[in-house]
Amino acid sequence: MTETLLRLTDVVKTFPGVKALDGVHLEVAAGEVHCLLGQNGAGKSTLIKVLAGVHRPDGGEVLWGGEPVSFSDPQAAMKAGIATIYQELDLVDGLSVADNIFLGHEPRTVGFVRRGQVRRRASEILASLGHPEIPVRREVAKLPAAAKQVVSMGRALSREARMIVMDEPSAVLAHDEVENLFRVIRGLTARGIAVVYISHRLEEIREIGDRVTVLKDGRTTAANLDAKTTPTNELVARMTGRTIEYVFPPRPDAVPERKPLLEVRGLKRAGEFTDVDLTVHSGEIVGITGLVGSGRSEVLETIFGARRAHAGTVTIEGRKLRAGSVPSAVRAGLGMAPEERKSQALVLGEPVFRNMTLATFGRFAKAGFTDAAGERRAADEMAERLELRPRDTRRVVRTLSGGNQQKVVVGRWLLGGTRLLLLDEPTRGVDVGARAELYRVIRDLADSGVGVLMVSSEVPEVLGLADRVVVMREGRIVRQAAAHELDEHTVLDLVMAGSLLEGSPVA
């Protein structure tokens, strides 16, 4: 390896109630692709934010170019030469490509932006990335996902980055776009730029990576492994076996005979998933797990009608739902809490009570006027039931924690008498303490007879909370079983088995 750009030793980061990083070691060399591997909750996101200057570590040492550093903010990290490309790209859709590339450090003369120079230099950067065809005057909103990623890389290069951190960069890309991404990355490393590549997909790590570091429960469990020759079972073993306690409510000892509530048969969406068969009974929690891109969230959205199935049927208590119709699903008693609750489920500037009554708004309208007092009473009762903190339903929902925002979304559907609740990554962005409360809420709902179908990328969460587990890989269900019949290692073997080539060194 060449010059070591970055070295982390015993890095610690603590938040109230949880130690997110508990002794991380990481070494990244110039011109290499260093892959960071670990399950959700392993500490990858916190580590990324430490490198990006969003968080300052509470302990340990960070050396950049051989010198101790402590970045006070993201601007300090970027000035030092560390750029971060998050999974949710932080581009400004209303601005042009050129303006996005130089956003925040535009060349100026006497206070005025030199537009011609901005466009010319942006074109040169895109050409150096192998994409001279991207028009620098076009609004970023009009670009496909792959082109937006190139623009994000261009922004990093405009600041002369020496290391680029990429968080799940292939999550929204098609296969040919991933190949193009790898070509761009190889071009960067050939120029001596280091890339820290975060991915759940082992086949990507094998193809693009040089070395691998594995995180588990905020600690480094393996460092500097060879990305191309390390056996899969070793990587999986390093990722499993948790020390963080997931406090799950007990499952009922005696389960009465339950009737089928949801029945999905032969469900298919071309290019996303096929031949999906599953059943959820009244009072049962069924958990779907799999890697990003396995089709798990797409199945949930198709059941809810947010996507239209190309084949197959969805029935609720024997009644067939109209494909691609959310109103039909809601009338049948379905409710959904999506993964991106802030952008897809909540009106952040409105109070809690208004967010809770969105799905039942007509109930509180009288003679053309809204019965705000009735809305608040209903929301207050639901807030009490779900133990919302704080209980004040007049509070703007943006000010609540992630766990309490999720309770607001769940409460909305319960007000409408939902019989089947669909939950996509229900604890995403929720701290450890609040997770236990959400687990209790979900189990209480099931005990009251509500069916729950949840998607989670956290295998321990699915095994600990669900009654039955559905494992997906590459758009197909590869295993269904009672939760007690599976363990974390078995599930990870199932979801990753299809990621590697037959007979390869890591197969």
> Structural domain tally of the chain?
2
Cβ neighbours for 175, distance < 8 A, ≥ 6 positions apart: none
Within a domain: residue 245? no
For the chain, the straight-line distance linking the first and the last C-alpha, in angstroms and rounded, comes to 26
Residues 227 and 340 reside in one and the same domain: no
The model's pLDDT over 314-341, given as tens digits with 9 standing for 90+, comes to 999 999 999 999 999 999 999 999 988 8
Question: Are 422 and 6 a contacting pair, CB within 8 Å?
Answer: no
pLDDT at position 503, please?
Answer: 31
Residues 270 and 382 reside in one and the same domain: yes
d(CA 169, CA 177) in angstroms, rounded, equals 11
Residue 201: domain span: 4-239
d(CA 504, CA 34) in angstroms, rounded, equals 20
What percent of the chain clears pLDDT 70, i.e. is strictly above it? 92
Segment 123-130 mean pLDDT: 88
Cβ neighbours for 41, distance < 8 A, ≥ 6 positions apart: 217, 244, 458
CB burial string 263-288: b at 16+ within 10 A, e below:
bbeebbbeebbbebebbbbbbbbbbb
The model's pLDDT over 274-302, given as tens digits with 9 standing for 90+, comes to 999 999 999 999 999 988 778 999 999 99
pLDDT at position 404, please?
Answer: 87
Residues 105 and 59 reside in one and the same domain: yes
Q: Identify which of 305, 347, 337, 352 has the alpha carbon closest to the alpha carbon of residue 450.
A: 337
Q: Report whether pLDDT(433) > 60.
A: no
The torsion angles phi and psi of 202, rounded to 5 degrees, stand at -65, -30
d(CA 370, CA 355) in angstroms, rounded, equals 14
Within a domain: residue 244? no
What percent of the chain clears pLDDT 90, i.e. is strictly above it? 52
pLDDT at position 255, please?
Answer: 65
Residues 309 and 205 reside in one and the same domain: no
Question: Are 261 and 281 a contacting pair, CB within 8 Å?
Answer: yes
Residues 205 and 163 reside in one and the same domain: yes
Alpha helices in 34-167 (DSSP H): 44-51, 74-80, 97-101, 115-128, 145-158
- Separation of CA 192 from chain center: 30
Residues 234 and 267 reside in one and the same domain: no
Within a domain: residue 213? yes
The torsion angles phi and psi of 367, rounded to 5 degrees, stand at 50, 40
Residues 306 and 357 reside in one and the same domain: yes
Within a domain: residue 372? yes
Question: Are 218 and 43 a contacting pair, CB within 8 Å?
Answer: yes
Segment 13-34 mean pLDDT: 90
Question: Are 284 and 452 a contacting pair, CB within 8 Å?
Answer: yes
Q: What's the pLDDT band for 500 if we cut at 50, 70, 90?
A: very low
Q: Identify which of 255, 310, 282, 288 has the alpha carbon closest to the alpha carbon of residue 495.
A: 288
Question: Are 337 and 426 a contacting pair, CB within 8 Å?
Answer: yes
pLDDT at position 498, please?
Answer: 47
Q: Report whether pLDDT(499) > 60.
A: no
pTM for the model: 0.61
Single residue among 175, 208, 239 that ends a domain in this structure: 239
- Report the residue count for the chain: 507
The model's pLDDT over 437-482, given as tens digits with 9 standing for 90+, comes to 889 899 999 999 999 999 998 888 899 999 999 999 989 999 999 9
Single residue among 239, 273, 305 that ends a domain in this structure: 239
Cβ neighbours for 110, distance < 8 A, ≥ 6 positions apart: none
State which H helix or E strand residue 285 sits in: strand 285-289
Question: Which range is most confident: 115-124, 354-363, 420-429, 463-472?
Answer: 463-472
Question: Are 165 and 35 a contacting pair, CB within 8 Å?
Answer: no
Within a domain: residue 377? yes
Strand partners, 109: 112
Question: Are 285 and 278 a contacting pair, CB within 8 Å?
Answer: no
Q: Report whether pLDDT(97) > 50.
A: yes
Within a domain: residue 250? no
Residues 196 and 66 reside in one and the same domain: yes
Secondary structure class of 194 (helix, strand, coil): strand
Q: Identify which of 294, 313, 252 has the alpha carbon closest to the alpha carbon of residue 456.
A: 294
The DSSP result for 378-420, as a single string, is HHHHHHHHHT-SS--TTSBGGGS-HHHHHHHHHHHHHHTT-SE
* 309 token code pair: 């199935």
Give the CA distances from residue 431 to residues 14, 229, 403, 425, in Å, rounded to whole numbers and listed in that order: 12, 36, 7, 13
Cα Rg of the chain (Å, integer):
24
Residues 233 and 325 reside in one and the same domain: no
Residue 477: exposure state from Cβ atoms within 10 A (0-12, 13-18, ≥19): buried
Q: Report whether pLDDT(245) > 70.
A: no
Cβ neighbours for 377, distance < 8 A, ≥ 6 positions apart: none
Residues 201 and 335 reside in one and the same domain: no
Q: Report whether pLDDT(13) > 50.
A: yes
* 146 token code pair: 């792959």
CATH of the domain at 38: 3.40.50.300
Question: Which range is most confident: 218-232, 242-256, 259-273?
Answer: 259-273
* 8 token code pair: 């982390």
Within a domain: residue 505? no
Residues 347 and 312 reside in one and the same domain: yes
Single residue among 207, 239, 271 that ends a domain in this structure: 239
Segment 20-24 mean pLDDT: 92
Residues 357 and 491 reside in one and the same domain: yes
